[in-house]
Amino acid sequence: MGAVWTVFRKEVLENLRDRRVILSAFFFGVLLAPMIFGLTTTMVSKRAVANQDKPLNLPIAGASNAPNLVQFLRENGAKVEDVELTSDEAIAAVRSGRQDMVLLIGEDYGKALQAGESAPLSLVVDTSNSNTSPSADRARQLLSAYGHQLAVLRLMVRGINPAVIEPVGVQTLDVATPAGRSLLILGMMTYFCFMSMLVGGFYLAIDTTAGERERGSLEPLLTLPVSRSQLIVGKMLATSAFMSVSLLLTLATFGVVLTFIPLEALGMSANFGPRVILPIFAIMATFVPLGAGLMTVVASFTRSNREAQSWLSVVMMFPIAPIMFAVVTGTKPSAALMAVPSLSQHLIATSLMRGDSIPALHVLICAGTTLALGALLVGIAIRLYRREAILG
Amino acid sequence: MILVEGLKKRFGTVQALQDVSFSAGDGKITGLLGHNGAGKSTTLRILSTVIRANEGRALIDGHDCSTDPLAVRRSLGVLPHASGLYAHLSGRENIRYYGELHGMRGAELDRATDQLIDRLALGAVAERRAKGYSQGERLKVGLARALIHRPQTIILDEPTNGLDVNAVRMLRELIRELRDSGRCVLFSSHVMQEVAALCDDIVIISHGRVVVRGTPAEILKATGAPDLEEAFVRAADQDEVA
C-alpha cells in the first residue's frame, strides 16, 4: 500500500506543476463550460421574455377597408401601422426582411362581409424566419379570434346556439412545473460536468502509459521492487483524483453562475444549492473509476502521446453521446436505463435538479452497474500494464 | 554477482537471443559489447526483470530473475540509456521518489539522498526542476537515482552515449569507485575503446549469441588479433562468416 501512496503523491505533484494539465483540466471545467452555459441560457431566456412583452407590430395595407377589424386589433394590443403597399410589394418587403409581416385588406372585404360571405384577408409572413414566427402566430390568433367573434354574433342573431360551431371544446392544461421547464437547459449541465470530469483526467491517463514510455521513464520504473499493479493503481488513483476535483469545481462554479442567470424570468426556478450539488457530485463520481479505467486502457494501446491524445478525444464521446441523446429526446428515468452508465448519472442528476423524488432502486442500479463496469476496466488496465508490450 | 545460462528470447518471429551465457563477478567491471541489434539491450532487460526469457536462467546475487523478480530488483540498480527523469520534479525529488519506491523513509532516505548529491557534486542543481538539465546533470541524477538503495549489482545501458568528455570521465571514475567498493558492475556499449578503457572482463555478443568472453588479454589470445578493436571486429563478424 505504501508504494501505491508514493506513486499517487508523485503523480499529483508532478501534474499540478504541469501548466498544460492545469489549463486543460481546470480551464475547461471552471471557466469555459460555465461561461458557454451562462451565455446560452441568458440568451434563450432574454429572447423568450422579449417575445412575450413586445407589442405586436402589425403593418396593414388597406386599413380603411376594415375599420372594425383594425379597431379590434388595436384593442387587443397590436400596434397597427398604416402602409401603402400592393400585394406584390408586400410580398417583396416580407421576403427581404424589411417587414416582419403585412396584413392585406382588399377593397372587396367590406362587400363580402356585408353579403355574409367569407371576407378575404391575406397575412404575408415568412415561416422560415424563426425570429418573426412567434409574432406571426400572435397575429393569426388575433385574426381568428375576430372571425370567431363575428361568427358567434351572426349565429346569435339567427337564434342559434354558438356551440354548434364548436363540436369539441379543447382545453390545454400546462402541467410543467417551473423547475421542470428548465430541464432542457439544466440537462446541458450534466453534459458539461461529464466533459470536465473526463478532460480533468485526460492528460494523467496518457501520462501514466504512453507518456512514461515516450519519455523513457517507464523502463527504470519497472526495475523497482514494486509490483506493476501497485504502480498502475497509484497512477489511476491520481487520474481519479484529478477527475473528481475537476467535477466538483465545475459543479460549484455552476452553482455560482446560476445565481446570475435570470431563470426566474422564464418561469423557471433553479434548484442548485449545496444540498443538491453534493448528491449530484456523489452520483456522478461513481463514473470516475470507469472513466479513468477506460482512458488508461485506450492509452496503453497507443504508441505515443500524440496518438493517445487523438484516440482519447474520440473515446471521450462515448460517455457523452447517451446524454446528448437523452437531452434531445427528453428521455424519462426508468430502472432499465439505470443500467446504462453516464445516461443513468445524467437522469438522476437532472431529477435531483428538478426536485423529483428518486427511487432508491434506481440509485442502486446506477451506482452498481457503473462501479462494476469501472472495476472491470481497471482490471483490464492492470492486466495490460503487466504485458511486456507495454514497453513498446 | 550476475550469472546467465543459456538465455533465449523471441519477439514474434525474431529470435533476439539465441544462446547467451556469461557471468559477472563482484568487485569487477564487466562490459557487454556488440553491434547495435546484437542483443545487448534484450539481455539487460531480462536481467533487470522488465521482460522474461523464453528459456535459460538469469541469477542476480542468487535471486532468479523470472521466479523472484522483486528480490532481484531490491539488489539491482539500473541506469537506462534514456535518463527518463520526471521533468516537473526537481533532481532531489526524482531521487527520493525512487528511494521511497525502494521502501526507504525518513532519516535513512534523507541521509542517502544527501550523500549521493554530495558525492556527485550536484549541489544546487538538485533543487532545480529536471526540465532544464544538461546531459551531464541528467546523467548524474539518473545515477543517484539508480544507486539510492545501495545496490550490490549495477547495470548501465550504453551510459556514455551522447555525453561530453567531462561527463564521461566523471562516469568512469564513479564506475571504478563502485567496483573498488566490491560491487558488480555490468555495462553495455558498442564502442570498443570505451570497454577497453574500463573493463576487467569483456563479453562480446553477436546475433544473439556470446561469441567470446574473458579478460582483454584472453580475448586477444583467443581471436589472435593484434589489438582489442581488431579482436572485436573479428569476433563480432565471425558469426556471419560461419
Domain co-membership, A159 together with A224: no
Residue B86 sits at the chain A interface (C-beta within 8 Å): yes
Whether A220 sits inside 8 A of B97 (CB atoms) is: no
Task: From chain B, pick out residues whose CB is under 8 angstroms from the CB of A224.
Answer: 73, 98, 101-102
Q: Can you state the angle between helices A274-285 and A343-354, rounded to 10 degrees?
A: 170
Residue A173 inside a domain? The answer is no
The residue-averaged pLDDT of A310-321 equals 86
ipTM of the complex: 0.91
pLDDT, position B237: 72
Query: Given pLDDT bands bounded at 50, 70 and 90, which one contains residue A270?
Result: low
Domain co-membership, B58 together with B99: no
Domain co-membership, A38 together with A62: no
What does the pLDDT look like over A8-38, one tens digit per residue? 999 999 999 988 888 877 777 777 777 877 7
Total domains present in chain B: 2
Report how far residue A368's alpha carbon sits from residue A289's, in angstroms, rounded to the nearest whole number: 12
The boundaries of the domain holding residue B32 are 2-75+152-241
Domain co-membership, A69 together with A185: no
Residue A206 inside a domain? The answer is yes
Domain co-membership, A328 together with A364: yes
Q: Chain A residue with minimal CA distance to B49?
A: A223
Domain co-membership, B55 together with B136: no
Domain co-membership, B71 together with B113: no
What does the pLDDT look like over A42-87, one tens digit per residue? 776 666 666 556 677 888 888 888 888 888 888 887 888 888 888 8
Q: What is the helix (H) or strand (E) element at residue B128, kind and residue range?
A: none
Q: Are A114 and A66 contacting, i.e. CB atoms less than 8 angstroms apart?
A: no
Domain co-membership, B26 together with B62: yes
Half-sphere exposure of B66 (CA within 13 A, CB side): 14
What are the E-state strand segments in A77-228? 78-83, 101-105, 121-125
The boundaries of the domain holding residue A241 are 2-47+179-391
Residue A126 inside a domain? The answer is yes
Q: Hey, how many other C-beta atoms are within 10 angstroms of the C-beta on A326?
A: 23
Domain co-membership, A184 together with A245: yes
What does the pLDDT look like over B141-194, one tens digit per residue? 999 999 999 999 999 998 887 788 888 888 999 999 999 999 999 999 888 888
Q: Chain A residue with minimal CA distance to B143?
A: A220
Residue A171 inside a domain? The answer is no
Average pLDDT, chain B: 90
Percent of chain A with pLDDT over 70: 89
What does the pLDDT look like over B34-72, one tens digit per residue? 888 889 989 999 999 999 999 999 999 999 999 999 999
Whether this model's pTM surpasses 0.80 = no
More confident residue, B185 or A137: B185
Domain co-membership, B208 together with B175: yes
Last residue of a domain, one of A102, A134, A165: A165
Hey, which residues does A78 pair with through a beta bridge?
A: A56
Domain co-membership, A371 together with A246: yes
pLDDT, position B165: 87
B42: closest CA of chain A, how far (Å) = 12
Domain co-membership, A115 together with A224: no
Report how far residue B199's alpha carbon sits from residue B28's, in angstroms, rounded to the nearest whole number: 8
Task: From chain A, pick out residues whose CB is under 8 angstroms from the CB of B70.
Answer: 225, 227
Which of B83, B86, B131 to mutate: most A Cβ within 10 Å?
A: B86
Last residue of a domain, one of A143, A165, A187: A165
Q: What is the helix (H) or strand (E) element at residue B154, kind and residue range?
A: strand B153-157
Last residue of a domain, one of A135, A165, A195: A165
More confident residue, A194 or A260: A194
A228: closest CA of chain B, how far (Å) = 10
Report how far residue B70's alpha carbon sits from residue B167's, in angstroms, rounded to the nearest whole number: 32
Residue B84 sits at the chain A interface (C-beta within 8 Å): yes
Domain co-membership, A107 together with A213: no
Residue A59 inside a domain? The answer is yes
Query: Given pLDDT bands bounded at 50, 70 and 90, which one contains residue B241?
Result: very low
Whether B84 sits inside 8 A of A227 (CB atoms) is: no
Q: What is the helix (H) or strand (E) element at residue A8, kind and residue range?
A: helix A2-16
Query: Given pLDDT bands bounded at 50, 70 and 90, which one contains residue A303?
Result: confident
Residue A253 inside a domain? The answer is yes
Report how far residue B51's alpha carbon sits from residue B77's, in angstroms, rounded to the nearest whole number: 16
Total domains present in chain A: 2
Task: From chain A, pick out residues whose CB is under 8 angstroms from the CB of B93.
Answer: 10, 13
Report how far residue B242's alpha carbon sits from residue B235's, in angstroms, rounded to the nearest whole number: 11
Task: From chain B, pick out residues whose CB is under 8 angstroms from the CB of A7.
Answer: 101
Percent of chain B with pLDDT over 90: 64
